[in-house]
Structure formats: C-alpha cells, structure tokens
C-alpha cells in the first residue's frame, strides 16, 4: 500500500504489509499478534506513530526479508504503475536502510521455535526411515 491512516495493521493476525509512503497514522500495529509489516521510514518518524506494546521494530537486514520486500515492491510497481515503488526500486541500495520491519513479539517467538524444532523433526524422520 502507498500509505495508511490511523490504526494501520491494528489487530493484524497474519500476512505481510508494505507501506511505501512513510508517514503512518497514529497507533500503527496496536494489538498486532501476527504477520509482519515493512514500513518506509525516510524521515525516522515511524517509531513515534507505532504502538510498541506488542511489536518490535528492526532493520530489514536478513536476506530473506530483503528478497521478500523487494519482490513485493516489484509486484506492486508492475501491477499498479506506482511512481513511488518505481523510485524506491531505482534507488534500492539507498532506500533499503529506510525500511523498518514490524513484527509481533509473540509471532517472532513462534517462528523461532519452529526454526529450532525443524532440524530435530528432519532428524527424526531420517531415523524412522
């Protein structure tokens, strides 16, 4: 999406949201329990607009996150002809550091537990075979 008003991603339980026009309304991510959001934050004002009671903010640094974000922006640009998306992609290396990843603390714990459990499950399947 190009921008979002007050209460964006409020009660979000899954999925992925990309906000390309930096300023969000107040109370972003209130009661967000799942999913994740990437917010373009070139003016570094987002933290003041985000409800940090259940989420944490981090840079978009992991390769999988970078690839997912870029792919979503490319798709948006293709489907909508968005000048904003096209500009961000044209200046990708300079734009990327201005994105903030928003994720529920509880959702992050669930993903970490799954990541840690996966090798054990693969080993158990191999032993059973």
**Residue 23 in this model has a pLDDT that exceeds 80:** no
Q: Is 129 a residue whose pLDDT tops 90?
A: no
pLDDT at 102 over 60: yes
Q: Is residue 56 part of a domain?
A: yes
7 in any annotated domain: no
Task: Tell me the whole-structure pTM to 2 decimals.
Answer: 0.79
| Domain count within the chain | 1
Cα three-residue angle 57-107-53, rounded to 5 degrees? 50
In a domain, 81, yes or no: yes
Q: Within a domain: residue 42? A: yes
Specify the pLDDT at position 26: 74
Q: Is residue 6 part of a domain?
A: no
State the residue range of the domain holding 112: 13-128
For the ranges 35-49, 89-103, 114-128, the maximum mean pLDDT occurs at 89-103
Domain annotation covers residue 5: no
Domain assignment of residue 99, yes or no: yes
The three-state DSSP-derived secondary structure of the chain is: CCCECCCCCCCCEEEEEEECCCCECCCECCCCCEEEEEEECCCCCHHHHECCCCEEEEECCCHHHHHHHHHHHHHHHHHHCCHHHHHHHHCHHHHHHHEEEEEEHHHHHHHHHHHHHHHHHHHHHHHHC
Task: Please indicate, yes or no, if residue 65 is contained in any of the structural domains.
Answer: yes
Closest of 37, 10, 21 to residue 102, by C-alpha: 37
CATH number of the domain enclosing 60: 2.160.20.60
């Amino acid at each position: 999406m190009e921008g979002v008003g007050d209460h964006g991603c409020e009660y979000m339980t899954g999925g992925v949201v990309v906000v390309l026009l930096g300023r969000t309304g107040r109370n972003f991510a209130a009661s967000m329990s799942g999913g994740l959001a990437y917010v373009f934050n070139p003016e570094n004002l987002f933290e003041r607009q985000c409800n940090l009671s259940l989420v944490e903010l981090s840079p978009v640094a992991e390769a999988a996150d970078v690839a997912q974000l870029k792919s979503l922006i490319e798709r948006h640009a293709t489907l909508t002809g968005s000048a904003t998306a096209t500009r961000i992609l044209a200046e990708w290396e300079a734009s990327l550091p201005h994105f903030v990843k928003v994720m529920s603390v509880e959702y992050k714990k669930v993903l970490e537990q799954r990541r840690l459990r996966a090798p054990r499950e693969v080993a158990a399947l191999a032993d059973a075979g």
